[in-house]
């Protein structure tokens, strides 16, 4: 998985995956770089080029409930934001964690759960019922897609990056 350079084949596949009539206008490179400076991150490729040149989200696409969110957006059911999002902080997990089954007291794991939802990732969208798809932008899992729900978090398949995640959606519809 290459997160430093956009593969032209991945970009062609992304253009084909998101119908032009449902694409939100791309942000342009100046806006993407300003976002990166503001948050202290460099977005992984090919997502970075997608939002700069192709579209900043789409009404159709993964996730199925509402499509791909714009870069600066959160799902309507996200809850209070209050500056909790910290993209420059490393995403805290390297393997799946079902906190619903964690034997520690909730008071002990609650701050860790908050870090999983808020640190080191952009939210790509929701499939509803408290399931959110995250693209990790910092830390050991950079470039990978994670499913984060109300009961736990898990990486989306082995080494699955943004382009592979979109390709699986295209194949499944």
**Res 5: pLDDT:** 87
Q: What crossing angle do the helices spanning 162-172 and 8-17 adopt, rounded to 10°? A: 40
**Res 64: pLDDT:** 77
User: Residue 3 — φ and ψ, nearest 5°?
Assistant: -110, 5
**Res 83: pLDDT:** 60
Residue 3 has pLDDT above 80, yes or no: no
Mean pLDDT of the chain: 92
Residue 82 has pLDDT above 80, yes or no: no
**Res 80: pLDDT:** 62
CA 77-79-82 angle, to 5 degrees, is 145
User: Which of 33, 58, 43, 38 minimizes the C-alpha distance to 5?
Assistant: 43
**Res 81: pLDDT:** 60
Token representation of residue 4: 């430093």
91 against 158, higher pLDDT: 91
**Res 115: pLDDT:** 95
DSSP E strands in 22-167: the ranges are 121-128, 131-136, 145-148, 153-155
């Amino acid at each position: 998985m290459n997160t430093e350079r956009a593969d032209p084949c991945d970009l062609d596949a992304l253009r084909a995956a998101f119908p032009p009539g449902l694409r939100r206008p791309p942000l342009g490179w100046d806006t993407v770089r300003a976002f990166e400076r503001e948050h202290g991150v460099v977005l992984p490729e090919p997502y970075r080029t997608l939002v700069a040149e192709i579209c900043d989200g789409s009404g159709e696409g993964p996730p199925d409930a509402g499509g791909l969110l714009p870069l600066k957006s959160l799902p309507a059911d996200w809850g209070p934001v209050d500056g909790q999002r910290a993209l420059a902080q490393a995403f805290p997990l390297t393997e799946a964690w079902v906190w619903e089954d964690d034997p520690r007291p909730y008071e002990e794991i609650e701050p860790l759960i908050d870090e999983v939802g808020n640190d080191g990732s952009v939210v790509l969208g929701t499939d509803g019922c408290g399931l959110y798809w995250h693209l990790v932008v910092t830390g050991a899992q950079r470039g990978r897609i994670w499913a984060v729900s109300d009961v736990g978090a898990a990486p989306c398949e082995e080494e699955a990056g943004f382009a592979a995640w979109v390709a699986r959606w295209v194949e499944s519809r």
